[in-house]
Structure 1
Amino acid sequence: MSFLGGWFLLGLPLLAIPIVIHMMKKRQRDVIAWGAMQFLRDPTRRGQRISQTDRWLLLAARILILGCLIGALSQPLFHATRSSGVAGLPMQVILIDDTRSTLADGRFDEIRRTADQLMGSFPTDTPIEIWAIGNPPRRIIDEITDIGSDATNVTLSQIRSSLSDYPPRGGSGNFTDAVHRVVVASVEADKSRRELHNEDFAVDTPMDVWLITDDTAAGWNPPLSASAMLPDPNHRLHIIQACKPIPPLHQWCVTAVESSRRTITTNDTIEVSATIANLGTRPSPKVTAVWKHNGRPVAETPVKTLQPDEQLSLQTETTVRSAGTHEFKFELKPDGGAASDPMPDDDSGHVVVSVVGEMPLLVIKGPGGPFDQSPSDADFLAAALGRNSGAWASVSNDMASDGDTNNRRNESLFQPEVYSVTELDDLNWHRYPAIVWLGGVELPPDVLNRLINRVRQGAGLWITLDSKTDRGSMNDVLNRRVFNIPTESRSQSDDRANGIIGELVVNYSHDQLQRIHPPEPTDSILSPLSDTERLDLDLVRIRRRIDLHPPRGHASSRVLLRTFEGNPVAILSGLGRGRVVLQALPMDPSWSNFALSKSFVVWVLQVLDHLSQPVGENYNLASGQMFRKNVRETDHEYELTTPTGQTEVLIALPQFGRSLNQERADQTAGVVRFDRTDQPGLYHLKDTDGDTAPIVFSVAGDPSESACFVDSTETLTRLADAPRVDLHRQSTGIDLHSIIATLPEDQSRGPSGTPLWPALLLGLLIAISLETFLAGYAALRRYGRLRIRDTDPIAVGTNRSDLHSPSPSDIPRPSKGTLV
């Protein structure tokens, strides 16, 4: 019991006033007997007995009035239970680590138990906020219940129940940023709570932050500092390492699963690759890798023993027959007798491939001459795509399977539509996710503006150069419109031509012919082209090319393909949302035999796949990246199933800022968005009203979070040197009650507990009503008795004045013979 106005208790002696008055009324009085009293003696004695009872009841009621008044003014607080000896603690913010490293060896369960014990150690009236500190941080009470983030009266039982039901996300983490964001949000929550309880709030209000994590270095990204985590000097950080180290073991980790292309057509063959690493401290056992297509096993590959920190890449090929989104899964299953993996969640990976019918490809060419009979660049491009452009009737047999009589199997995803410069006036540019500008032919200004605007909106642009290219005009377009680099910025002393495009380079002798350097196997765009054993890139020779000068200081530009001498063959750059590839040679065999090789087909497909991705729908996301799906209708419901089996209902919203031509081009008016993709795994989006197959998209995890054997002790020890940071390790023992007992109280908050003064005010009103009733009832019984009694022969029908003042005529005269 505590009192907010304890000095009002000094008024307790006032309770003696009714007692003194009662005793004064009971003092002895002198009794004078007179003759008429014999008629009133019995009624008077009965009235005195009744009056004594009334006086005692009135005395109790008046004491109760003073007692309730003094008690209400003192504002008492009642404490039903106390979990510790600390009262009036400031806001306590509990952060639990739910990143991928906590999924190993039941570590998250230990973190959950420690957080529950910590909450049980606080007084029941302590304000508590509990968050999951993965990326991004989540308020747990909002994840499990529908209370809402602005709730200020959440009970401790609700918080503990939400913690027990919370599933870990297993994603990435950045604890420095997460702690700062959570502290700022908790300060606002504390401010709202104080306003609700009419308490004062100060910017220097103290706060304790409890970060419960494991012993791994995952999430502790440098630089680390207490000032970056805690924005106020009155905030304190308590780090609890609740997990013991994992014994030395191997640890498989599927670091990446990739497909050669993200969008293909039906009956197309795709290559899927996976990278495996051993992140443990012991050599890994032999295992078997299983490849699955939409849950159905399609291939198995044996995996050799890997030493610690060793990696291995595996590939497989498969053909997709139907349209839609297709999931390819790679997982490891231990052979008999192999040691178990401490983290089985990272022993598998996914990639999703979109299979569509066709995708239009705009090909811009110059006006042809009347005597052009040889295949043009458009013909070579159409042949590489398995199409017949119309000018060249033959199709290379090298691009068809033996015995295949169905040309449809040779057709790629992209359907080229060839237009000359003079046919682009009424073109709907929004239909094309990728554009090929052959020869860099000069375009009218209005057509060039529409082309650049379309690329900025997300379309890809592939520019090939030849001897007819106006290098001055093209340099002006590239420098000003693409790279935003003025020509004057280049040094005048440079012996190379100003601009991106240089002079024509001709290799006359056979010994001077240049070869193309294979891309690295880790190249995210051209990794299939690095397989020189199956492809013939090593047989490609370049006789002529345009000298390219990569832009200096342009962050989004890089050399995509080069010769062995280091000369750029193709440059990749970004323009708005779109991408641009500049190729230093045409597809004419007189320049190079590249267009006649099998490697050219792979080159064309990989470049077009990369260029068309920004406007295409991405079904392979990084953690935290928003998922977008264009749909035909708005205000339509879709059901999303997360990797943990939870379901959410999404509503298709209108796509603002889209023109009518854009909606007609892709026949979509709405969009479905989902931004809470912080949990790795597969998500399924299903139309609630249709019977179509669900749409699948994948979220990849951070492989660095799987490093369970990288100790964070040294990092946290340096962080704990700060005066506002305390480090507690389970290995040395953690006494939560002793730690909480050392916390300073929040003097601005004052005593806390259940207020009793409302009940006392109610008791005061009841006591006043009781005293009024008793006083009136006592007066009625005492002074109204002579008016209601009819048994007294003196009082009935007799006036009091007549009794005391008899008239002489009213005195009866004695009769004769009577003795007086």
Structure 2
Amino acid sequence: MSFLAPAFLGALTLLGIPILIHLIRRRRLHIVRWAAMEFLHHSQRKLRRRLRIEELILLALRLLIVFLAVLAFARPVIKAVGLSVLGQNAHVYAIVVVDNSFSMAQRIPNQNTAWERAVQQAKTVLTHVLRPGDAVSLLLANDHPTTLIGSPTYDLRLAYARLNAAKLSTRGTDYLETAKQVVALLKKSPLPNHEVYWITDDQANAWKSSQSESAHSIWKQLGNKARLIWISVGSPAPQRDNLAVHMEPLERELVTPHLAARISAKISNYGTRSYNNLPIVLRLDGQLAGMTKVNLAPHSASLATFTPYLPQIGIHVGRVELADPEHTDNLPLDNVAPFVLESRATLRVLVQEMQSQSATYTLAALAPVGGGNIFQPTRIEGESLDAENLSNYQAIIITGLTHLSTEEAHALADYVRTGGGLLLFPSEATQTDEVNAVLKEAGLLPAALGKIVRFPYENAQTLNPGSIGNYAPLSLFKDTSNINIGLARFTAYRQLTPFDDSSNPGAVQVILRFSDGSPALVERQVGRGQVILAASSADTSWNDLPLTASYVPLLYQLLLALSASAEVRHNLALDMPFLLPLPLSAVNAQIRITRPDGTVDTRTPVLGAEGAELQYPNTQMAGVYLVSGGPIHEAFAVALPEQESDLTYAAPNTALSQIGYPIARATFVTTPEQLSMAVNRSRYGVEVWRLFIEIAIALLFLESFLAWKFGRRG
């Protein structure tokens, strides 16, 4: 316990007054000897003891009344364990943290959004809680926190203006990242008294990164350096149901007028209500292009899939959305998922047939009788690539691979690094040692080619659709009810040992396996392009895949994936850079990028080893970006972070205690009315003078009653 007005404690000397009065008013008896009273002597001694006890009780009550009255005037406060009490004139350094992740856009029915409530609470802190002479910093909290005011400022009006200009972001929430910045600011502060005002919607996902021991130490440092006032502005837990639409990775971003796009979006139900026949809409270039319906149980998700044709050549901007995105739930921001596709007339493919007849089925699949071709294949025979301009093709296929010269391998490497796609099929005549060495030296080797493994037809290997994993171009084949790639039988394949690229972990992956677990297709990212190496042949010498219904769609999906490598990646996550290859003539062009909020950036392409390229890293905002300048008309989409759509509530006091935060140094409020009281308690402790006055008044009545009862007032 401490006192806000300790000078009044000097009045404790008044305790001597009741004692003095007691001594003065003690009865002085004049003893008169009287024989008749001697026999009453015994009873008189009993009465004297009783009177003395009564006087001492009254004296104790009067002393206690004076003591409590003096303490009340000294304004005693009780502080929490671990908190120091500030003097009335002490100044503080406050860090105001305002959550601006996109979940803060949720609106309570007939009220404002959590973001609007958070800004209002922060303004209350700046105008009614902090005083002239207090310093402040201002942070916007999300998974990539923004510092609006870093170094402490004493200009509260400046902080108010910065807060007023702040905007809601389209980012996720990560409390740990913000806590790190808060601790860094506190360490730099020369001021002794620190407060952190953390204003947020209490989203459970925001705590996920705070579960490690290293994260616990950050929160403990924060707790040791500052008082924490946690201000909750989110919706009540029962009102946090939410529907969300998020795009699945597109199987192909590049299509042709004769090849339908395959667009899938995940519709998630983060709530307790069920939905039957919930309408989902596809829009392309602003026009309705499709509709489907999904059923959603509580806390579940379902895929909505569309397969539209894009007859018009060029860039197409689309979106998948709930049928009434503005009114279906209280968080409209994630009810729409944008995407971008490109349609090309045809895709040019170079097919090099190193062994005679090894590309027969490949060419038949790429150029079917009857027209409507997706691909425009060019066939060359033999082993030389010198006469060909590789940059004219979106993909290159080499069938019946026998050997490669160093010059050819380097030509292919240059082609792939600038965005080309290369598909290799081995053969009986493959010179494995030479091919492995040449491809490795050129940086193209996905896997080392090994010996041939043979099987009798009755024990032939099959492709395992369950091994496809997360490789989006082949995800179509996971569902064997439509196309079953597992029906083809393989009587021979070459062993493949995936290359360990230590300089680029994750660049090599097995995208399909045989039924015995051996790699069937291995893919490697090289620069902007990719190489896919098959374990078996492209013809029927080792397998009957070309004779099955799955051959054409499998080949098409592989070539579309390889062709997309040569094209622009149009669908990105937050913070992924947009890269646009350009002709050398455009190296000095001024390129305009119109952001989702309407603001415009201007960029000049850079000239590098792979040619001219527009590099745009400022993708911190979800939505559609438009790129223009001269003959360039491009677009790309940046997706919202999916986990932010889950609005599940986590009680902040419980979450903080679980990560080791000193909970005694935290105060939790939900309304503006509670804020000032909570801050006063945090700063000065709980004043108990009213309690002391009430006890003193009660004791005064008790003293009066006992004085009357004892027959001794005053």
TM-score normalised to the size of structure 2? 0.72
In structure 2, C-alpha distance between the alignment counterparts of 1:731 and 1:91, rounded to whole Å: 23
Give how far 1:320 is off: 0.8
Aligned to 1:642: 595
Rate the CA distance shift 1:85–1:235 in 2: closer, same or farther, 3 A.
closer
Give how far 1:538 is off: 4.5
Rate the CA distance shift 1:465–1:484 in 2: closer, same or farther, 3 A.
closer
Give the aligned length: 582
Aligned to 1:292: 283
SS in 1 for 2:463: coil
Aligned to 1:92: 94
Structure 2: state its 5+ residue gaps: 1-85, 108-112, 685-714
Aligned to 1:101: 103
SS in 1 for 2:530: strand
In structure 2, give the amino acid aligned to 1:542: F
* 1:627-655 Cα distance to aligned partner (Å, 9 max, x none): 23345535544444333x3312313x241
Aligned to 1:376: 358
Are the counterparts in 1 of residues 313 and 344 from structure 2 also a CA contact under 8 Å?
Answer: yes
In structure 2, C-alpha distance between the alignment counterparts of 1:343 and 1:523, rounded to whole Å: 31
Are the counterparts in 2 of residues 250 and 283 from structure 1 also a CA contact under 8 Å?
Answer: no
Aligned to 1:324: 314
Rate the CA distance shift 1:711–1:299 in 2: closer, same or farther, 3 A.
same
Q: Within 5 Å, which residues of 2 pair with 1:34-45? A: none
State the identity as a percent: 21
Aligned to 1:312: 302
SS in 1 for 2:536: coil
Rate the CA distance shift 1:636–1:186 in 2: closer, same or farther, 3 A.
farther
Are the counterparts in 1 of residues 264 and 304 from structure 2 also a CA contact under 8 Å?
Answer: yes
Match among 438, 441, 445 for residue 399 of structure 2: 438
Aligned to 1:678: 620
Give how far 1:695 is off: 3.0
Please state if 1:584 is matched with 2:535: yes
Are the counterparts in 1 of residues 137 and 153 from structure 2 also a CA contact under 8 Å?
Answer: no
Aligned to 2:463: 516
In structure 1, C-alpha distance between the alignment counterparts of 2:435 and 2:478, rounded to whole Å: 31
Give how far 1:443 is off: 1.6
Please provide the CA RMSD for this pair: 3.8
TM-score normalised to the size of structure 1? 0.63
Q: Within 5 Å, which residues of 2 pair with 1:274-423? A: 274-304=265-295, 306-333=296-323, 340-366=328-354, 372=356, 375-377=357-359, 379-386=360-367, 395=368, 397=369, 400=370, 407=371, 409-412=372-375, 415-416=377-378, 418=380, 420-423=382-385
Aligned to 1:270: 261
* 1:111-143 Cα distance to aligned partner (Å, 9 max, x none): 1111111111212443333222223222447xx
Give how far 1:217 is off: 1.2
Bigger mean CA deviation after superposition, 457-466 or 721-730: 721-730
Q: Within 5 Å, which residues of 2 pair with 1:705-784? A: 705-713=644-652, 714-719=654-659, 721-722=661-662, 726-730=666-670, 734-736=674-676, 738-739=678-679, 742-743=682-683
Aligned to 2:639: 700
Rate the CA distance shift 1:382–1:483 in 2: closer, same or farther, 3 A.
closer
In structure 2, C-alpha distance between the alignment counterparts of 1:93 and 1:216, rounded to whole Å: 21
Match among 189, 193, 200 for residue 213 of structure 1: 200
In structure 1, C-alpha distance between the alignment counterparts of 2:272 and 2:600, rounded to whole Å: 40
* 1:33-77 Cα distance to aligned partner (Å, 9 max, x none): xxxxxxxxxxxxxxxxxxxxxxxxxxxxxxxxxxxxxxxxxxxxx
SS in 1 for 2:568: coil
Rate the CA distance shift 1:743–1:416 in 2: closer, same or farther, 3 A.
farther
In structure 2, C-alpha distance between the alignment counterparts of 1:241 and 1:725, rounded to whole Å: 17
Give how far 1:262 is off: 0.7
Give how far 1:258 is off: 4.1
Rate the CA distance shift 1:436–1:86 in 2: closer, same or farther, 3 A.
farther
In structure 2, C-alpha distance between the alignment counterparts of 1:521 and 1:559, rounded to whole Å: 9
In structure 1, C-alpha distance between the alignment counterparts of 2:163 and 2:672, rounded to whole Å: 26
Are the counterparts in 2 of residues 728 and 734 from structure 1 also a CA contact under 8 Å?
Answer: no
Aligned to 1:469: 430
SS in 1 for 2:620: coil
In structure 2, C-alpha distance between the alignment counterparts of 1:463 and 1:712, rounded to whole Å: 56
In structure 2, C-alpha distance between the alignment counterparts of 1:728 and 1:647, rounded to whole Å: 38
Give how far 1:531 is off: 4.0
Rate the CA distance shift 1:647–1:108 in 2: closer, same or farther, 3 A.
same
In structure 2, give the amino acid aligned to 1:695: E
In structure 2, C-alpha distance between the alignment counterparts of 1:419 and 1:230, rounded to whole Å: 69
In structure 1, give the amino acid aligned to 2:627: L
Give how far 1:419 is off: 6.5
Rate the CA distance shift 1:302–1:577 in 2: closer, same or farther, 3 A.
closer
In structure 1, C-alpha distance between the alignment counterparts of 2:347 and 2:154, rounded to whole Å: 53
* 1:353-381 Cα distance to aligned partner (Å, 9 max, x none): 12234554444442x5xxx5xx432x433
In structure 2, C-alpha distance between the alignment counterparts of 1:127 and 1:622, rounded to whole Å: 37
Give how far 1:733 is off: 7.0
Are the counterparts in 2 of residues 350 and 682 from structure 1 also a CA contact under 8 Å?
Answer: yes
Give how far 1:699 is off: 0.9
Bigger mean CA deviation after superposition, 228-237 or 268-277: 228-237
In structure 2, give the amino acid aligned to 1:592: N
Give how far 1:228 is off: 2.7
In structure 2, C-alpha distance between the alignment counterparts of 1:675 and 1:725, rounded to whole Å: 40
SS in 1 for 2:546: helix
Q: Within 5 Å, which residues of 2 pair with 1:518-537? A: 518-519=465-466, 523-535=471-483, 537=485
* 1:222-274 Cα distance to aligned partner (Å, 9 max, x none): 33535336878645554332324242564322233443311123443212112
Aligned to 1:599: 550
Aligned to 1:782: none
Rate the CA distance shift 1:126–1:517 in 2: closer, same or farther, 3 A.
same
Q: Within 5 Å, which residues of 2 pair with 1:602-621? A: 602-621=553-572
Rate the CA distance shift 1:249–1:721 in 2: closer, same or farther, 3 A.
closer
In structure 1, give the amino acid aligned to 2:309: T
Are the counterparts in 2 of residues 500 and 550 from structure 1 also a CA contact under 8 Å?
Answer: yes
Rate the CA distance shift 1:635–1:445 in 2: closer, same or farther, 3 A.
closer
Give how far 1:502 is off: 3.1
Are the counterparts in 2 of residues 325 and 354 from structure 1 also a CA contact under 8 Å?
Answer: yes
